[in-house]
C-alpha cells in the first residue's frame, strides 16, 4: 500500500521543534506588559528614551551618532515600529483574557441573580401561604367573643328554665298522664 504524501508520518519528527508555551504563563506575562504600557510611567520612560535618542543623534559627537537627522531618524522609526508591532498583539491578548474573565464573571452574576430571584419568589410564596393560613386561624379576641356568646346563651337557657313553672320539679304527680 502506497503512503499518502499529503499526510505526515506518525513517527516523523519535525525538523524544527515547536516551542511549547504554557498559555496561562504567557497570558499573564502579556497582561503585565500590556498593563505597564497603559501607565503614565511607560509614557514618561518612552518620552525620555525618544528625547535622549534625538538629543544624542542631533547634538552628540559626530563620530558617535548612529541615526542621522538627515535620514529622518530611520533607526528610531524602526525601533518605534518594532515596539508597536509587539505591543498591539500583546494588548489584544490581554483584552481577550479580560473578556474571558468578564464573560465568566457575568455568567456567575447571572446564576447568582437567578438563585436570588428563585429564593425571593419562594419566600414570597411562603409569606402568601402564611397570610392565608393566618386568615383561617382563630384569633384570641375571636375565641373570647365566641366563649362569651356561649356563656350568654347558657345563662339565658338557665333563666328560661327557672322561669317555666314546674320546670325544676321532677315529681311524678306533676307529669301529665300520671294521676293517682
pLDDT above 70 covers a percentage of the chain that reads 86
List pLDDT tens digits, range 119-175.
999 999 999 999 888 877 778 888 899 999 999 999 999 988 887 665 555 555 555
pLDDT above 90 covers a percentage of the chain that reads 44
Mean per-residue pLDDT, 63-68: 90
pLDDT of residue 111: 96
List pLDDT tens digits, range 38-53.
899 999 999 999 999 9
How far is the C-alpha of 1 from the C-alpha of 12, rounded, in Å?
19
Q: Is the pLDDT of residue 179 over 80?
A: no
DSSP 142-163: HHHHHHHHHHHHHHHHHHHHHH
Cell representation of residue 42: 511607560
Provide the whole-model pTM: 0.50
Give the SS3 label for residue 21. coil
How far is the C-alpha of 13 from the C-alpha of 116, rounded, in Å?
55
Q: Is 105 exposed, middle or buried (0-12, 13-18, 19+ CB in 10 A)?
A: exposed
Average pLDDT across the chain, whole number: 85
Place of cell 327557672: 162
pLDDT of residue 161: 85
Amino acid at each position: 500500500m502506497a503512503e499518502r504524501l499529503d499526510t505526515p508520518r506518525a513517527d516523523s519528527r519535525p525538523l524544527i521543534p515547536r516551542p511549547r508555551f504554557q498559555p496561562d504563563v504567557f497570558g499573564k506575562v502579556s497582561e503585565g506588559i500590556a498593563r505597564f504600557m497603559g501607565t503614565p510611567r511607560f509614557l514618561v520612560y518612552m518620552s525620555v528614551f525618544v528625547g535622549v535618542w534625538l538629543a544624542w543623534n542631533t547634538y552628540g559627537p559626530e563620530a558617535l551618532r548612529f541615526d542621522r537627522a538627515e535620514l529622518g531618524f530611520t533607526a528610531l522609526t524602526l525601533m518605534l515600529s518594532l515596539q508597536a508591532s509587539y505591543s498591539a498583539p500583546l494588548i489584544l491578548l490581554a483584552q481577550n483574557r479580560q473578556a474571558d474573565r468578564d464573560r465568566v464573571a457575568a455568567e456567575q452574576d447571572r446564576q447568582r441573580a437567578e438563585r436570588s430571584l428563585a429564593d425571593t419568589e419562594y419566600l414570597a410564596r411562603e409569606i402568601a401561604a402564611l397570610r392565608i393560613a393566618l386568615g383561617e386561624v382563630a384569633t384570641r379576641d375571636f375565641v373570647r367573643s365566641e366563649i362569651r356568646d356561649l356563656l350568654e346563651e347558657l345563662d339565658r337557657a338557665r333563666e328560661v328554665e327557672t322561669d317555666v313553672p314546674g320546670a325544676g320539679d321532677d315529681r311524678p304527680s306533676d307529669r301529665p298522664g300520671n294521676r293517682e
